């Protein structure tokens, strides 16, 4: 897919205030610092579209972008900030839960995982939560350029083992590096494929 246009539409905390659910929607989420903004900027080829390194104190917002006038890309607030208060974590949980349950045009969630680390409970919990909700999702391993492909293979194998403990069917997995533009064609091709189904 060629990205002809990517524009920011709006940020809000309420599903009811999101754009009309008249186009397929693809949401991106992951632990803070996983490389979500960098990946969104890499996919859209717009350096400043998603803001990098948003601080944990900031309001947690659902950010909508319109791509090629035909689908929505959504930047969801991340999880796993160490310094977030219990109240803020609960607000995040409620907002995200409501979004996943109510956003009728949500087509697929991209769960970002840092390819350098062994499976982390917070990520596995989130994946299992999505699986239990029945929300379609794929996994995106980020920052491939930071280590050898052997290390990446071992992280992916470890996630595969962990997920097999609970699920018969495994989600699709993508390997990416925002730095080296790895995985761009694969992710955009996947979105195009789903959009034309
Ligand atoms: P976010 O908090 O998930 O939006 O993460 P950011 O996109 O702000 O990235 C967090 C940090 O990781 C920043 O310092 C980025 O420059 C760095 N980063 C993100 N993606 C990559 C990547 O693919 N390769 C490398 N080497 N660094 C990355």
What domains can be seen in the chain, in order of their start residue? 22-195 (3.40.50.300)
Q: Using a 6 Å cutoff on CB, does residue 52 contact ligand 1?
A: yes
> Which DSSP state fits 100?
H
For residue 51, the model assigns a pLDDT of 78
Asked if this assembly's ipTM is beyond 0.90, the reply is yes
Q: Cα dist. 184→14, 30, 72, 107 in Å? A: 30, 18, 17, 19
Per-residue confidence (pLDDT) for residue 50, from 0 to 100: 87
pLDDT at 84: 79
Strands (E), the chain: 6-12, 25-30, 62-67, 71-75, 106-114, 137-142, 173-175
What pLDDT, on a 0 to 100 scale, did the predictor assign at position 48? 85
The pLDDT score that the predictor gives to residue 119 is: 96
- Check pocket membership of 177 for ligand 1, CB cut-off 6 A: yes
Q: How far apart are CA 38 and CA 196, in angstroms?
A: 26
d(CA 163, CA 58): 32
Q: Quick one: pLDDT at residue 197?
A: 86
34 lines ligand 1 (CB under 6 A): yes
Q: What integer pLDDT is reported at residue 124 of this predicted model?
A: 97
Query: Which pLDDT tens digit goes with each residue over 141-188?
Result: 999 999 999 999 999 999 999 999 999 999 999 999 999 999 999 999
Q: Tell me what pLDDT residue 58 has.
A: 61
| Chain position carrying tokens 């035909």 | 70
User: For 177-180, which contacts have Cβ atoms below 8 Å and span 24 or more sequence positions?
Assistant: 177/142, 177/143, 177/144, 177/145, 177/146, 178/35, 178/38, 178/39, 178/41, 178/42, 178/142, 178/143, 179/38, 179/143, 179/145, 180/144, 180/145
Question: Residues of the chain whose pLDDT is less than 70?
Answer: 52-59
CA 104 to ligand 1 center in whole angstroms = 30
| Residue-level pLDDT at 2 | 94
Is 178 a pocket residue for ligand 1 (Cβ < 6 Å)?
Answer: yes
d(CA 79, CA 126): 9
Write down the pLDDT at residue 88: 86
Q: Residue with structure tokens 């397929």?
A: 24
């Amino acid at each position: 897919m060629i990205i002809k246009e990517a524009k920011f539409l709006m940020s809000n905390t309420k599903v009811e205030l999101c754009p009309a659910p008249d186009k397929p929607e693809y949401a991106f989420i992951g632990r803070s610092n996983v490389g979500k903004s960098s990946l969104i900027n890499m996919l859209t080829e717009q350096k400043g579209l998603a803001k990098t390194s948003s601080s944990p104190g900031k309001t947690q917002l659902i950010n909508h972008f319109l791509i090629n006038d035909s689908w929505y890309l959504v930047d969801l607030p991340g999880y796993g900030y160490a310094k977030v208060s219990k109240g803020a974590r609960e607000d995040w949980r409620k907002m995200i839960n409501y979004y996943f349950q109510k956003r009728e045009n949500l087509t697929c969630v991209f769960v970002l995982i840092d390819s350098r680390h062994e499976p982390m409970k917070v990520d596995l919990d989130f994946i299992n939560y999505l699986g239990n909700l029945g929300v379609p999702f794929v996994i995106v391993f980020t920052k491939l350029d930071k280590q050898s492909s052997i290390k990446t293979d071992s992280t992916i194998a470890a996630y595969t083992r962990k997920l097999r403990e609970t699920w018969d069917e495994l989600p699709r997995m993508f390997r990416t590096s925002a730095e080296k533009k790895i995985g761009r064609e694969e992710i955009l091709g996947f979105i195009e494929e789903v959009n034309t189904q």
